Structure 1
Amino acid sequence: MEDQSQFRLLSERRFLPFFVTQFAGAFNDNLFKNALLLLVTYTAGGLFGLSADVVVNLAAMLFILPFFLFSAIAGQVADRFEKSAVIRWIKFAEVVIMGVAAVGLWFGWYEMLFLLLFLTGVQSAFFGPVKYAILPQALKDSELVGGNALVEMGTFVAILVGTLMAGVMMKAPVPGPVIAVAVALLAITGLIAALRIPKAEAAAPNLKIRFRPLQETWKLMAIARDNHNVFLSILAISWFWFLGAAYLTQFPNFAKTHLLGDETVVTILLAIFTIGIAAGSIACERLSGHKIELGIVPIGSLGLSFFGIDLYFNMPEQPIPSDWWMIITDPHYRQVAIDLLAIGIFGGLFIVPLYAYVQREASPDTRARVIAALNIFNALFMVISALLAMLMLGVIGLSIPEFFLVLSIMNLIVAGFVYQQVPDFALRFVIWVLSHTVYRVSHHHLDRIPEEGPALLVCNHVSYMDALVIAGAVRRPVRFVMDHNIFATPIMGSFFRLAKTIPIGPKSRVPEIYEAAFDRIDEELAAGHLVCIFPEGKLTKDGEVDTFKPGVDMILQRRPVTVVPMALRGLWGSFFSHCGGPAFSHLPKRFWSRIHLLADHPVGPEQASASFLEEKVKALRGDHR
């Protein structure tokens, strides 16, 4: 499965109908919203006695307000009822709303269309929680990143196509009827696809739904805060939407004022940014090795800031009138396009693992409500983004490139805070970088490691990189048992403490550390975690597997758990091994080395022993050192 592309999900019923449903919904939302704004701006010239500028901002408020009012109830509904049925009812509501909207568009009843825009926001608010909560039930853990990548790609492509189609349809001789037919057909398409979505059973069938928007919203915040790491991941996702809203909102004035571009420049900037997010989202699965890899989240945040700063310094000093073709071909403008594409790509790398992480870590019976809380935070952060833009650009008087520069610096500060609060992000980042630069790691049969519950991993010990290689390959967090002396070094000690590594030493020299290590191992196994030990007790000095110490027997006597024998191949001779002398004592002779990590069939505690596991690991490693 790990060699298959995420795109195979688009051929399977458990995912394709859902994907078509959410794509059609996002497409329709943006087509209707943008078409209505264009009709009001260019045809009606304003409504309710208000100017077109005020009406545009009123429309944005009407669309986002339901997320504050109804997300809490939407989360309850998605947890309480079978999810495919919830989606079908939501899509049926969309058909009704868009059917009435089609009549309004046909006859130009713009005041009524604004009420329908609010109802469209209500329908989207109800779809959001069930949209993400259904994925962990439809997909395996190893498919969550790929599934979320496709959803994010589809969403942003739908936003782009919906926005562009609204502009194209406005050029029709009579745009209202053309748009009316389009929104009605899209709604019907979404409903037909929803009818094919397989069942996803209710997570909390006994939950009592309470129609108290303010109280339930506050309660939703408490549910989201139950898991500190999930809550900070929610804030990180909302921060992305803060940045995205800031960039997208400024594109028209940015193109007109700082690039002297016509209306086609706005379109190409939007297209480049959206394509970047879609490409970054799709790249996540390959970069993460088909697992939820938090290590690429810091890469995404660093890229967002780097290319945001680069955009500021690459602005043309003396812009000349431009169109979309100049943005791509002219050297002065092309760098702006590259920076925006890169910002989109790194944005995709940032957001997809976070969505998958929230889905996996949230409790199944509250998952939809946690997603509902996420939607509220997203809406709140987008409103704050608009207010900050008004302050920075209107009151303080920054230019738009200067505003983008401020956002990039703010992003570094926010990222630093999140990674300090959740060390797993920084830890996984270091592991990911080392395991994807120093080595090319191939792993075999790691699906033999239990997906949940305690297990003891035993492996040969070749180099100082062994733990990082294993941690980067195994899907679940692993607690390693390592020599206590490594904790004395400032950098490595801090790193391994973050990784919750268990220090151990000889009983004859440090009996208190020795005893404490076995207590910690037992606690971690009792908590249902994976613990990895290197039973040789030290790095090999000749490349061969040394005798296994009896510590593994002591662990299993205290806590009988499943044991998974593992073996590392290809690390002998590396800079971090004792080949040719002590590790680190000679210059590196090779980079990007091919190494292999193999897992054998699990062994029951009654069969496992130090000598038995030693033979298992030797056979697994074979003659490949």
Structure 2
Amino acid sequence: MSQFALLGRRRFAPFFWTQALGAFNDSAFRNAMVMLAAFQMGLSDHEVGLYTNLAPALFILPFFLFSATAGQLAEKFEKTRIIRFVKLFEIAAMALAAYGFIGHHLLLLLVVLFMMGIHSTVFGPIKYAILPQALSDTELVGGNGLVEMGTQMAILIGMVAGNALMLIAGIGPHFSAALTIGVAIVGYLASRFIPPAPATAPHLKFSWNPFTETVRVLRITREDHAVFNAVLGISWFWFFGTVLVAQLPLYTRVNLGGDGSVNTLVLTLFSIGTGVGALLCEKMSCKRVEIGLVPLGAFGLTAFGVDLFLARPGAAPLRGLDWLAFLHVAGSLRIVLDLTLIGVFAGFYVVPLFAFVQARTLRDRLSRVIAGNNILNALLIVIASVFGLALDTLGFGAPQIFLVAALLNVIVAVYIFTLVPEFLMRFITWVLVNTLYRIRVDGMQNLPEEGPALLVCNHVSFMDPLILMANLRRPARFVMYYKIFRIPVLHFVFKTAKAIPIAGLKEDPAILHRAFEEVDAALAEGELVCIFPEGGLTKDGQIARFRPGVEKILQRRPVPVVPMALRGLWGSVWSRRDSMLRRARLPRRFRARVELVVDAPKPAAQVDTAVLQDRVEVLRGDMA
């Protein structure tokens, strides 16, 4: 099913439109307020600068003050009711904004801006915690991609609408007031159709102290090492994006020589790129939470950030260009491509991180982890603003700031991927598997969602463990021949994936004994363990006799057994049909079509070596 089919499902569509309309209204209100202050109230440049710099601080402040409280609310109470109260709060805020627009009460509008910050603070933990309740694991990446795309498009359209309506001579404030109130009401009506989302921690002891609870939420966020580093990655994304977007108005005027329409074009390119990247995540990850896309996204942010600096490092030769004239200037298409691809790779970067946090965090604390994420995001946004101002004070132009941010991205990415090698391991696996094969998976719903299980599969090529790693919904521990485990480059992948090396009894009894101990320990911890019972690669494309190691494992730890079969690998890259030792060329079936078939789990008492071999042979069929 395509991710767009979710827009026709009640469990997703009402939430999607509620979220998108809220993002639209937030953007439209903020931009209308800026246009009112800058062009309709006769304020001095100093006064305009004061208000426009104060506005972001007021919007961010509630994230520091109330995120922890919002996380508790989302855990303890039914989420849909909270969403409806938040949307009613938005209607009240927009009613005050209407009075402020029409009466030119800028201080009142700043109060409303603070209220909208509270609105976003309370909605944030619900926004990402409700998706795992409404969507299956295979829909999580697609759902996050749609939400990210919808948010980007809503912010962009809201910005254009807020700017354009407020600048209508004489009646701009009235139109802006009508728009924001109307959208808030429609958003509330959409929220009425969101299905119930039960509390995940109804017995949670609520704390009203925002300071002690903030410390507690951040402590919870740090408990899972991998999740916390994913949160740091998301926060870095907001730092990078804040630095980039803050420089765009000056970059547009000085380096691109454009007017306001070019600034709108630049923001549009970035937003569309991010939306496209978010949507592509589902297809590129084959509906799995594929954190291997994160290093790809980080690479793209740096590569195209550096190229954006190289494309136009100095001032534009012409000034006052509209968007159409700008597109006809030499070198402009390169800048257009850079801005769009920065957005695309931003989508590759942030969507898998959000999905990873949702998938790896326990449901009864996910909202609080998202709240901790929002606190850190707000902190990094403030730091990014100070960082940009500091570089500007030092005389850096917008292109130079882009370059510094792009190079810093390398340092941060290396730091995060060093702390959590799983990100880089998944990237290597994703690149290798998707470069060499075209894979179709059948029966993945048969893989147990939780608890231990022993996976058994036929063994055709050296790439079998990587193919399975890239396609199984849950991490699995692979038992593999110790010499394959030690292959350069792949050794990093296998070690990071906690593969279990094994050897024959005559070859190294110590490795063999240690392997069985590790298998039993992994199953005792509730993990998946995958073995290739043939004990080696097939030499003729047929399934060799299964060895008795399976029975030895099950005698000690009787867990469910999941038969699996790989089809279409014989004769592909690194199978034994073409000897890689005698032929210095790629085998004839590069980019082979491969299938992975997963059967329903079998109770340990009902299987033995012969039964499993027969079942795997049936699953594989004639497609060797």
TM norm structure 2: 0.97
Task: State the shift of 1:583 in Å.
Answer: 5.8
Q: Secondary structure at the match of 1:114?
A: helix
Aligned to 2:130: 134
1:180 to 153, 177, 180: 177
CA offsets 1:548-588 (integer angstroms, 9 cap, x no match): 00000001111111111111122211241111435685411
Task: Work out whether residues 428 and 493 of structure 2, in 8 Å CA contact, stay in contact via their aligned partners in 1.
Answer: no
| Inter-partner Cα distance in structure 2 for 1:183 and 1:489 | 60
Question: After superposition, where does 1:321-470 map in structure 2 within 5 Å?
Answer: 321=319, 322-394=321-393, 396-470=394-468
Listed one character per residue, the Cα deviations across residues 592-611 of structure 1 (whole Å, up to 9, x for unaligned) are 11111112232211111111
Q: 2:7 aligns with which of 4, 7, 10?
A: 10
Deviation string 1:33-82 (CA, Å, 9 cap, x unpaired) is 111111011122449x9621111001111111111111111111111100
Q: How far apart are the structure 2 equivalents of 1:506 and 1:219?
A: 50
Q: Matches of 2:31 and 2:222 in 1, distance apart? A: 35
Give the match for residue 124 of structure 1: 120
CA contact (8 A) 1:576 1:583 kept: no
2:557 maps to a residue whose letter is R
Relative to structure 2, which stretch is displaced further, 275-284 or 361-370?
A: 361-370
Q: How does 1:43-82 map to 2 (within 5 A)?
A: 43-46=40-43, 51-82=47-78
Q: Is 1:522 the counterpart of 2:511 in the alignment?
A: no
CA, structure 1 residues 13+492, in 2 after alignment: closer, same or farther (shift >3 Å)? closer
Alignment of structure 1 residues 9-408 onto 2, 5 Å: 9-46=6-43, 51-173=47-169, 174-315=171-312, 319-321=317-319, 322-394=321-393, 396-408=394-406
Compute the displacement of 1:313 (Å): 1.3
| CA distance, structure 1, for counterparts of residue 85 and residue 362 of structure 2 | 25
Per the alignment, residue 499 of structure 2 pairs with 501
How far apart are 1:311 and its partner, in Å? 1.1
Q: Are the aligned partners of 2:269 and 2:336 in contact in 1 as well (CA < 8 Å)?
A: yes
**Does the CA-based 8 Å contact 1:93-1:123 persist in structure 2?**
yes
2:67 alignment partner AA: S
* Long gaps (5+) in structure 2: none
- Determine if contact 1:294/1:353 at 8 Å carries over to the other structure: yes
Q: What is the DSSP-based 3-state SS (H/G/I as helix, E as strand, rest coil) of the residue aligned with 1:606?
A: helix
Structure 1 residue 117: Cα displacement: 1.1
CA spacing shift, 1:331–1:613, aligned 2, 3 Å: farther
The one of 537, 540, 543 aligned to 1:539:
537
Is the 8 Å Cα contact of residues 444 and 599 (structure 1) preserved in structure 2? yes
Matched-pair contact (CA < 8 Å) for 2:313–2:400: no
For 1:338, the aligned partner's letter is L
Counterpart of 2:618 in structure 1: which amino acid? A
Distance 1:149 1:608, change over 3 A: same
Alignment of 1:565-576 (within 5 A): 565-576=563-574
SS in 2 for 1:51: helix
The residue type equivalent to 1:611 in the other structure is A
Superposed CA deviations along residues 368-403 of structure 1, whole A, max 9, x for unmatched, are 111111111111111111111111121x21121111
Equivalent in the alignment of 1:596: 595
The number of equivalent residue pairs is: 620
**What do you get for the CA RMSD once the two structures are aligned?**
1.5
Q: What CA deviation, in whole Å up to 9, does each residue of 1:155-185 have, x standing for no partner?
A: 1111111111111102322211111111111
Tell me, in whole angstroms, the C-alpha distance in 2 between the residues paired with 1:284 and 1:227.
Answer: 24
* Structure-2 change in CA distance of 1:406 and 1:87 (3 Å): same
SS of corresponding position for 2:438: strand
Separation of aligned partners in 2, 1:50 and 1:122 = 28
Q: Is the 8 A contact 1:569 1:621 kept in 2?
A: yes
Contact 1:45-1:51 within 8 A present in 2 as well? no
For residues 323-362 of structure 1, the C-alpha deviation after alignment (integer angstroms, 9 at most, x for no partner) is: 2113434441111010000000000011011111111211
The CA distance in 2 between the partners of 1:326 and 1:139, in whole Å, is 46
Contact 1:479 1:529 in 2 (8 A): yes
Decide whether aligned partners of structure 1 residues 339 and 621 sit closer, same or farther in structure 2, where only a CA change above 3 A counts.
Answer: same
In 1: Cα distance, 2:330 partner to 2:551 partner:
67
The farther-off stretch of 175-184 and 311-320 is 311-320
Gaps spanning 5+ residues in structure 1: where? none
Q: Which moved more, 1:283-292 or 1:584-593?
A: 584-593
Stretch deviating more after TM superposition (569-578 or 465-474): 569-578
SS in structure 2 at match of 1:594: strand
CA distance in 2, matches of 1:465, 1:339: 35
> What one-letter code is carried by the residue in structure 1 that aligns with 2:3?
Q
In the TM superposition, what is the alpha-carbon distance from 1:268 to its structure 2 partner?
0.2
Tell me which residue corresponds to 2:482: 484
Q: Helix, strand or coil for the counterpart of 1:532?
A: strand
Q: Kindly tell me: are residues 584 and 407 of structure 1, through their superposed partners in 2, closer, same or farther at Cα, counting changes over 3 Å?
A: farther
* Partner amino acid, structure 1, of 2:614: E
In structure 2, what is the Cα distance between the partners aligned to 1:582 and 1:245?
A: 50
Comparing 480-489 and 83-92, the one that deviates more: 480-489
Which secondary structure state, in structure 1, belongs to the residue aligned with residue 304 of structure 2? helix
Give how far 1:118 is off. 0.8
Give 3-state SS (helix, strand or coil) of 1:283's partner: helix
- The 3 A distance-change label for structure 1 pair 584 and 106 is farther
Partner secondary structure for residue 134 of structure 1: helix
Q: 1:584 to 1:553 in 2, by over 3 A?
A: farther
Aligned residue type for 1:447:
Q
Query: How far apart, in 2, do the equivalents of 1:606 and 1:70 lie?
Result: 54
What SS is found at the alignment partner of 2:604?
A: coil
Separation of aligned partners in 2, 1:602 and 1:355? 30
Paired letter, 1:509: E
CA distance in 1, matches of 2:396, 2:473: 45
Share of identical aligned residues, percent? Answer: 45
- How far does residue 308 in structure 1 lie from its aligned partner after superposition? 0.6
Distance in structure 2 (CA, Å) of the matches to 1:584 and 1:41? 74
